[in-house]
Structure 1
Amino acid sequence: MRGMKVHALADLGELRRELRARAEAAAAQAAAERERAQREERQRRLFELTVGPVRPLNDQRRVHHRPPAVPPRPVQRQRDEQAVMQEALSDEFDVETLLHTDEHLSFRRPGLGDDVMRKLREGHWSIQRQIDLHGLRTDQAREALGQFIRDCHQMGLRCVRVVHGKGLGSPGRTPVLKGRVQRWLVQKNEVMAFVQARPAEGGAGALVVLLRPVGR
């Protein structure tokens, strides 16, 4: 019986200590809140003494500018154009019957005179721009060439050079890209003719291409 009383007194003492600790914590928190409020009040009074009386700005004359609208990107149109360009340039196109096997391989649209081809072959046309397809995979070269021809034609350029290489670094030293470039160029409506470049302009590793005038 006496042991139970001692245990109850111990529990009561523990409860008192816990209540006292809680009361002290609450008092400390209240003191901190009062200190913070007094500090803010002192800062407010100091600001008023330094600046003087203030009043809110009248925002009725404020102009709110809307951010400029971002123009939409024609992503789908670009994808469609790329798809059309890739489909138009086929690797299976039979180009052999369209090429002229004179002293150098060449191509010209029907109705184009011999004098135009002669001047193109002799370098009378000034080369206005060129593209180098070295190191590109077949699909990359096809897309780059199609875009190049289209851009040059839209800019009104007439004579460009396409460097495809001689194929010396290809397996079997066979100029695979050269034959593909010829097929692709024949399929481009912007191309009127092309001839093998002169030795000083790339020789067997390049073609000089004559483009159709804009609007024709």
Structure 2
Amino acid sequence: MTGRRPPPAEDEEDGAALFREAIGTVRRLPEKREPVPRPKPEPVPRMAERDEREARGEFQRLLEEGPLEAADSLRYRRDEISPRVLRRLARGQYATQDELDLHQAGAAQAEAWLRRFIAEARAAGHGCVRIVHGKGLHADGAPALKNLVDRLLRQRADVLAFHSAPAAQGGTGAVLVLLRPR
């Protein structure tokens, strides 16, 4: 075979003519236009919304609960940290690798020391540290350093969890902090 079609037989030509005669005149349809694309939706900043929700929750908690008292325990964990880890931290089952003592520091100085201490501890690869803030028994009203430490640690993304230390490690006058790995 040569790959050419043989000429149509007379019957095929008659069939095509009969078909055209049966359907009548044909008109061409108008060309279909492409649909106008819909504008893409704006991206949703999910992480920013989550951070905003968490911050509002923390702020609301502070408004409802008021300041911590000397005997109150500090405790906090991020959602990705299991309650079991927090219980182990509360029992002092993690070895502390560094310590910061905030006794006798003013609020501004304690805040600066705490921020630098956490940054340096993470840079050194420490996973668990102890911060001694004292019980604030000599202060008028609520213990200022204890409330400052609680507030600052909750705001830091590099803090995974914290809990007041067991009695042998400072009790409610110290806090054990789990840090996010570098």
Q: For this structure pair, what is the TM-score category when the shorter chain's length is used for normalisation?
A: 0.5 to 0.7
TM-score by length of 2: 0.60
Cα distance, 1:122 vs structure 2: 1.4
Question: C-alpha deviations, 1:167-215, integer Å up to 9, x for none?
Answer: 112124x31111111001111111000001110111111100000011x
What corresponds to 1:155 in structure 2?
124
Cα distance, 1:95 vs structure 2: 7.3
The structure in which a higher percent of residues are helix is: 1
Give the counterpart of 1:94 among 59, 70, 74.
59
Residue aligned with 2:59, SS:
coil
Give the counterpart of 2:79 among 100, 105, 110.
110
Give the counterpart of 2:156 among 166, 185, 188.
188
Which structure has the larger Rg over C-alpha atoms? 1
Higher relative contact order (CA 8 A, sep 6+): 2
Question: C-alpha deviations, 1:10-43, integer Å up to 9, x for none?
Answer: xxxxxxxxxxxxxxxxxxxxxxxxxxxxxxxxxx
Decide whether the 8 Å contact of 2:78 with 2:160 is kept in 1. Answer: yes
Question: C-alpha deviations, 1:131-164, integer Å up to 9, x for none?
Answer: 0111111110000000000000011000000111
Alignment of 1:193-212 (within 5 A): 193-212=161-180
Q: For structure 1, which runs of at least 5 residues remain unmatched after alignment? A: 1-92
Decide whether the 8 Å contact of 2:128 with 2:177 is kept in 1. Answer: yes
Cα distance, 1:105 vs structure 2: 3.4
Residue aligned with 1:94, SS:
helix
Cα distance, 1:104 vs structure 2: 3.9
Q: For structure 2, which runs of at least 5 residues remain unmatched after alignment? A: 1-57, 66-71
Give the counterpart of 2:115 among 146, 150, 154.
146
Question: C-alpha deviations, 1:63-109, integer Å up to 9, x for none?
Answer: xxxxxxxxxxxxxxxxxxxxxxxxxxxxxx72736x9xxx9431001
Change (3 A) 1:194 1:162: same
Distance 1:124 1:207 in 2: 13
The code of the aligned residue for 1:109 comes to R
Distance 2:73 2:111 in 1: 23
Give the counterpart of 1:121 among 87, 90, 111.
90
The code of the aligned residue for 2:90 comes to R
Change (3 A) 1:150 1:124: same
Change (3 A) 1:124 1:95: farther
In the comparison of the two structures, how many residue pairs are matched? 118
Distance 2:121 2:60 in 1: 23
The code of the aligned residue for 1:114 comes to P
Q: What is the alpha-carbon root mean square deviation over aligned residues?
A: 2.2
Alignment of 1:13-162 (within 5 A): 94=59, 96=61, 104-162=73-131
TM-score by length of 1: 0.51
Change (3 A) 1:107 1:95: farther
